[in-house]
Structure 1
Amino acid sequence: MTEKKDSGILDSVSNALRILKSYSHSQPVKRVNDIAKELNVSKSTASRLVKTLAAEGFLTKDTESAGYRLGKMTLTLGGIFANSNEIYREMGPVLNEIVSETKESAHLAVIIEKELVYLMKYVGPYYADTKIDIGETNPLHATSSGKVLLAYGDSNRINEIKKEGLDAYTEHTITNPILFEKELLKIRRNGYAVSMEEYTYHNFSIAAPVFNIDGEVVCAIGMAAPTSRLKQNKLPNLIKIIVNGSKIASELLGWDG
Structure 2
Amino acid sequence: MIQEQEKLLSSVKNAIRILRAFKMNHPQKGVRELANELGLGKSSVQRILTTLASEGLVQKNKETNKYELGLSVVELSSIVLGNIDLHTESRPILTDLANKCGETAHLAILDGNHVVYLDKVESKTSNKVPSHLGLHNYAHCTSSGKLLLAHSGNYLVDLVIQNGLDAITPKTIIDPDRFREELKTILEHGYSVSVDEYTIGRTSVSAPVRDHTGKVIAAINLVGPSTRISKQRIQYFASELIHSGELISERLGYWKG
Q: Shorter-chain TM-score category?
A: 0.5 to 0.7
TM-score (ref. length: structure 2): 0.65
Sequence identity (%): 32
Which residue matches 1:94? Answer: 93
1:33-44 map, 5 Å: none
Determine which structure has more spread, i.e. the larger CA radius of gyration: 2
Q: Which amino acid aligns with 1:117?
A: V
Which sections of structure 2, spanning at least 5 residues, go unmatched?
A: 1-82
Q: Give the CA deviation at 1:234.
A: 2.2
Which residue matches 1:154? Answer: 153
Which residue matches 1:183? Answer: 182
Q: Give the CA deviation at 1:127.
A: 3.9
Matching of residue 132 in structure 1 with residue 131 in structure 2:
yes
Matching of residue 213 in structure 1 with residue 212 in structure 2:
yes
Instruction: Pick closer, same or farther for the CA change 1:103–1:188 going to 2, 3 Å.
Output: same
How many residue pairs get matched?
A: 174
Kept after mapping to 2: 8 A contact 1:210/1:247: yes
Instruction: Pick closer, same or farther for the CA change 1:234–1:96 going to 2, 3 Å.
Output: same
Which residue matches 2:6? Answer: none
Which residue matches 2:196? Answer: 197
Which residue matches 1:143? Answer: 142
Q: Which amino acid aligns with 2:185?
A: K
- SS of the equivalent of 1:228 reads coil
Kept after mapping to 1: 8 A contact 2:194/2:205: yes
Q: Give the CA deviation at 1:104.
A: 0.8
TM-score (ref. length: structure 1): 0.65
C-alpha RMSD over aligned residues: 1.4
Q: What is the CA–CA distance in structure 1 between the aligned matches of 2:127 and 2:165, rounded to whole Å? A: 26
Kept after mapping to 2: 8 A contact 1:101/1:241: no
Q: What is the CA–CA distance in structure 2 between the aligned matches of 1:227 and 1:100, rounded to whole Å? A: 19
Q: What is the CA–CA distance in structure 2 between the aligned matches of 1:233 and 1:184, rounded to whole Å? A: 21
Q: What is the CA–CA distance in structure 2 between the aligned matches of 1:198 and 1:231, rounded to whole Å? A: 16
Q: Give the CA deviation at 1:133.
A: 1.4
Q: Give the CA deviation at 1:243.
A: 1.1
Which residue matches 1:103? Answer: 102
Q: Which amino acid aligns with 1:135?
A: G
